[in-house]
């Protein structure tokens, strides 16, 4: 071995393989930290002394490959090419071997002076994976050292192996064999490049591969040299290639091999085909050699996730399970919790009855007393009565999410979307709309195709959001007590679903779609939801809803009370609200709606949650303290009227925030108005069919 005094050794690896741990352990406090010239990437250099050798250890940026896609890749590649380190310490995560070996293969294309540090073997073993480091070394023809960086085990051996590598002339490392059709083209490119002086600066095979890929960095470098005028400028500082380079560069500004690339492109071999062929071959090579030195200990039995997924994702059982889960969620949230809502409603009435005498004692004006009792308490109380339902819905939503089932539901939903002619990603937007249509519409941003996006946006308001579900469940609980409530609620959701499917198919016909595509989804493991992950998001969502709704409800309650009170001394149906309802009676009449329903529908446009407060005020809930809104409404309309109202309410124009968001996201006033008109017409037609169909069937 020759005597070495100063050596440069580079530490290379994927991100998060423990490179910094190795670097810090080997260099201690002898480090210099800065940035790479002209880059924002951190540069770390340390020194290590070994007997008479002074080692400059450079921690190269973590990277997955050496293709010029990112700053990290370019820095690592350029360092290896330009600085020519005496050895490369390649750190490999044994628990993620495939991904890590891809980088190692790319390094071996640049230099054979590589030593592999096999880290995280303990993690690999715990997942049933045993790696024979000796065989790996034989296959790659480079030394492999087993290390546990976190404990400092094997680090000294790793560095020693790198020192040995630095002092020897290693045999040529293994090279990937590409398919014969590709190999032919590599050899042809090598033949073109070999006589050029430029090729002397790089490993020939690597340069040929990069030329075939039309590597952008090589092109940039060539252009920067070719555009210089003097011999000194043309010759890179790191190289002494003399006048020949200048002569060659001046003779042509075209990169060598361009004609050959054009020939290949004409036969269908563009740079992307080469890029893919090279990457594909490396992965195939890795999977072949891995079989030789990795043994997997099969797990004694399938994991819980595998077992559950066989059912949850089954084309046969998946959908019935999904429907059953959703039915349970809706039943518990919106039907079983109704008594809690009644309790709050009664509590608000009691509170109003307690407060009004106090106001009277304080000589507050009668109108103010009326506003507090029949305006604020009736309106706000009506909305508060469905807070338990909403909170429960959010608890279940968090439960499904935290358990991992929501992701499965989304996956099943994708198949359903495909059947409707929608993009699978539309599911996420539509599912989000069950919370609120505004974020649902914004979630369409993940859809690349503008037509997919537009259709999903237009379909979004057909999904009943939580405020709508809350109002619906309150009315359902009043008119369809007991198990009939669950049937009514599921029927309404069924109508919403069928309308959604038919609308999707209709819009697909009118808004022509171009192409279909799919995605690969990473499903999380199932696990038992924690209380924190369930209750905290549920509380945050409920609080967010109340905070958002409060201003609307309070303002709407005051406005509706004023409209229904003035002019003073007239009957309710002669008030401003009554007159407004009367003006719209011609729309409501075919559907069996009275003027109060029409006013509630109009005010629902401002925010859906105000509908219940409007109904509460117009039906005079607190005027009759012993009755809840349910009791007052059931005395005024039939169950058929109520069901027709619910269908219309569920499908008619979305709230103003949703309309504004649709306009902002679509950028089209025309499509926004089309959406509003479409919802109005569809809701009217379906409600009319239900009302008159019901009458014909004798449902009163």
CA 684 to chain centre: 36
CB of 615 to another protein, least distance (A): 23
Distance (Å, rounded) from C-alpha 47 to C-alpha 620? 84
Distances (CA, A) of 321 to 43, 333, 406, 419: 54, 18, 12, 19
- The smaller minimum CB distance to another protein, of residues 397 and 649, is found at 397
- Pair of tokens at residue 414: 């994708």
From residue 588, give the alpha-carbon distance in Å to each of 597, 648, 680. Answer: 8, 10, 12
Identity of the residue, 397 or 645, whose beta carbon is nearer to another protein in the bound complex = 397
Nearer to another protein, 240 or 515 (CB): 515
CB of 401 to another protein, least distance (A): 6
> From start to end of 84-182, where are the E strands?
87-93, 114-119, 129-131, 144-146
Cβ at position 665, least distance to another protein in Å: 7
3-state secondary structure of 284: helix
C-beta of 268 vs 670, nearer to another protein: 268
Rank residues 158 and 386 by Cβ distance to another protein and give the closer one. Answer: 386
Q: How many angstroms separate the CA atoms of 136 and 289, rounded?
A: 8
In the complex with another protein, the residue whose CB is nearer, 422 or 500, is 422
Q: How far is the CB of 520 from another protein (least distance, A)?
A: 5
Give the nearest distance from C-beta 100 to another protein in angstroms: 8
Distance CA 300, CA 294 (A): 18
- What is the maximum span of the chain, computed from C-alpha positions, in angstroms? 111
Q: Where are the alpha helices (DSSP H) in 43-154?
A: 71-78, 97-110, 121-126, 133-140
Nearest CB to another protein, comparing residues 294 and 680: 294
Nearer CB in complex with another protein: 59/72 = 72
> CB 8 → another protein: shortest distance, Å?
27
Find, among 69, 85, 84, 292, the residue nearest to 174 by Cα.
292
3-state SS, residue 248: helix
Tokens 């880290």 locate to 119
Q: From residue 338, how far is each of 172, 372, 470, 481, 549 by CA, in Å?
A: 77, 25, 10, 10, 20
Check if the beta carbon of residue 350 is closer than 8 Å to that of residue 622: no
State in angstroms the smallest separation of the CB of 296 from another protein: 8
Least gap, CB of 456 to another protein (angstroms): 12
Q: Which residues contact 566 (CB under 8 A, 6 or more apart)?
A: 575, 576
Q: Which is nearer to another protein, 224 or 263 (CB)?
A: 263
* Residue 372 CB-half CA count within 13 A: 17
What minimum distance in Å lies between the beta carbon of 173 and another protein? 21
At residue 238, φ and ψ (nearest 5 deg) are -80, -15
Closest by alpha carbon to 629, among 639, 644, 618? 618
CB of 393 to another protein, least distance (A): 11
Phi, psi of 474 (to 5 degrees): -65, -45
The dihedral over CA atoms of 616, 329, 458, 549, expressed in degrees to the nearest 10, equals 40
Of 433, 390, 396, 655, the C-alpha closest to 542 is 390
Residue whose CB is less far from another protein, 364 or 431: 431
What is the closest distance, in whole angstroms, from the C-beta atom of residue 209 to another protein in the complex? 14
Q: What burial class does residue 287 get, using C-beta atoms within 10 Å of its C-beta: 0-12 exposed, 13-18 middle, 19+ buried?
A: exposed
Q: How far is the CB of 545 from another protein (least distance, A)?
A: 6
Which segments within 303-441 are labelled E, that is strand?
none
Closest alpha carbon to 391 in 332, 307, 326, 445: 332
- Three-state DSSP at 367 gives helix
- Which lies closer to another protein via its Cβ, residue 283 or residue 688? 283
| Residue whose CB is less far from another protein, 56 or 665 | 665
User: Is the distance from CB of 455 to CB of 420 less than 8 angstroms?
Assistant: no
CB of 524 to another protein, least distance (A): 8
Find all residues with CB under 8 Å of 184, minimum gap 6, and list them: none
Report in angstroms how near the CB of residue 444 gets to another protein at its nearest.
9
The gap from C-alpha 113 to its chain's centroid, in whole angstroms, comes to 42
Give the strand pairing for 129-131 and 114-119. unpaired
CB closer to another protein out of 134 and 439: 439
CB of 156 to another protein, least distance (A): 30
Closer Cβ to another protein, 217 or 275, answer by number:
275
* Closest to another protein by CB, 25 or 121: 121
């Amino acid at each position: 071995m020759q005597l070495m005094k100063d050596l440069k050794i580079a530490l290379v690896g994927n991100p998060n393989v423990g490179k910094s741990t190795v670097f810090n352990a080997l260099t201690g406090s002898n480090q210099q930290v800065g940035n790479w010239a002209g880059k924002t990437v951190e540069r770390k250099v340390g020194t290590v002394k070994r007997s008479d050798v002074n080692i400059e250890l450079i921690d190269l940026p973590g990277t997955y490959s050496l293709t010029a896609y990112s700053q990290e890749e370019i820095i690592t590649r350029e360092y290896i090419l330009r600085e020519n380190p005496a050895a490369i310490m390649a750190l490999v995560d044994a628990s993620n071997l495939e991904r890590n070996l891809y980088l190692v293969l790319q390094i071996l294309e640049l230099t054979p002076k590589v030593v592999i540090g096999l880290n995280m073997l303990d993690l690999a073993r715990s997942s049933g994976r045993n790696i024979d480091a000796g065989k790996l070394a034989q296959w790659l023809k480079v030394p492999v050292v087993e290390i546990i960086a976190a404990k400092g085990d094997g680090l000294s051996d790793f560095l020693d192996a790198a020192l040995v590598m630095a002092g020897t002339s290693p045999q040529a490392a293994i090279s990937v064999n590409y398919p014969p059709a590709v190999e032919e083209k590599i050899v042809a490119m090598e033949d073109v490049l070999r006589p050029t002086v430029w090729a002397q600066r790089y490993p020939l095979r690597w340069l040929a591969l990069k030329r075939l890929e039309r590597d952008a960095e090589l092109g940039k470098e060539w252009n920067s040299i070719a555009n210089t005028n003097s011999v000194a400028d043309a010759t890179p500082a790191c190289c002494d290639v003399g006048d020949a380079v200048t002569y060659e560069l001046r003779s042509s500004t075209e990169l060598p091999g361009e004609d050959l690339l054009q020939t290949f492109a004409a036969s269908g071999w563009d740079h992307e085909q080469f890029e893919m062929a090279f990457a594909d071959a490396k992965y195939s090579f890795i999977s072949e050699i891995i079989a030789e030195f990795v043994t997997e200990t099969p797990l004694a039995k399938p994991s819980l996730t595998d077992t559950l997924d066989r059912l949850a994702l089954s084309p046969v059982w998946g959908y019935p399970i999904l429907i059953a889960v959703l039915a349970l969620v809706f039943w518990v949230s919106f039907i079983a919790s109704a008594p809690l809502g009644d309790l709050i409603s009664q509590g608000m009435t009691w509170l109003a009855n307690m407060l009004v005498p106090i106001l009277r004692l304080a000589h507050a004006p009668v109108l103010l007393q009326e506003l507090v009792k029949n305006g604020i308490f009736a309106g706000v109380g009506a909305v508060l009565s469905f807070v338990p339902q909403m909170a429960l819905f959010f608890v279940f939503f968090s439960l499904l999410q935290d358990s991992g089932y929501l992701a499965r539901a989304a996956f099943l939903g994708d198949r359903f979307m495909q059947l409707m002619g929608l993009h699978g990603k539309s599911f996420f937007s539509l599912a989000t709309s069950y919370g609120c249509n505004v974020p649902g519409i914004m979630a369409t941003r993940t859809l690349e195709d503008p037509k997919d996006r537009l259709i999903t946006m237009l379909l979004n308001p057909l999904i009943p959001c939580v405020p709508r579900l809350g109002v619906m469940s309150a009315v359902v609980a009043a008119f369809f007590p007991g198990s009939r409530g669950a049937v009514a609620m599921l029927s309404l959701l069924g109508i919403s679903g069928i309308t959604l499917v038919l609308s999707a198919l209709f819009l697909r016909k009118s808004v022509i779609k171009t192409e279909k595509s799919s995605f690969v989804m990473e499903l999380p493991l199932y696990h038992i939801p924690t209380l924190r992950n369930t209750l905290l998001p549920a509380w945050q969502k409920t609080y967010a809803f109340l905070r958002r709704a409060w201003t609307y409800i309070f303002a709407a309650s005051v406005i509706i009370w004023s409209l229904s009170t003035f002019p003073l001394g007239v009957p309710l149906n002669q008030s401003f609200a009554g007159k407004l309802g009367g003006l719209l009676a011609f729309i409501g009449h075919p559907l069996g709606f009275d003027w109060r329903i029409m006013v509630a529908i109009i005010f629902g446009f401002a925010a859906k949650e105000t509908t219940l407060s409007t109904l509460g005020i117009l039906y005079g809930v607190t005027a009759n303290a012993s009755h809840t809104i349910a009791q007052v409404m059931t005395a005024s309309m039939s169950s058929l009227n109520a069901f027709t109202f619910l269908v219309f309410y569920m499908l008619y124009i979305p709230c103003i925030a949703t309309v504004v968001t649709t306009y902002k996201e679509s950028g089209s006033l025309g499509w926004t108005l089309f959406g509003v008109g479409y919802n109005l017409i569809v809701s009217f037609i379906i409600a009319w069919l239900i009302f008159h169909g019901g009458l014909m069937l004798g449902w009163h």
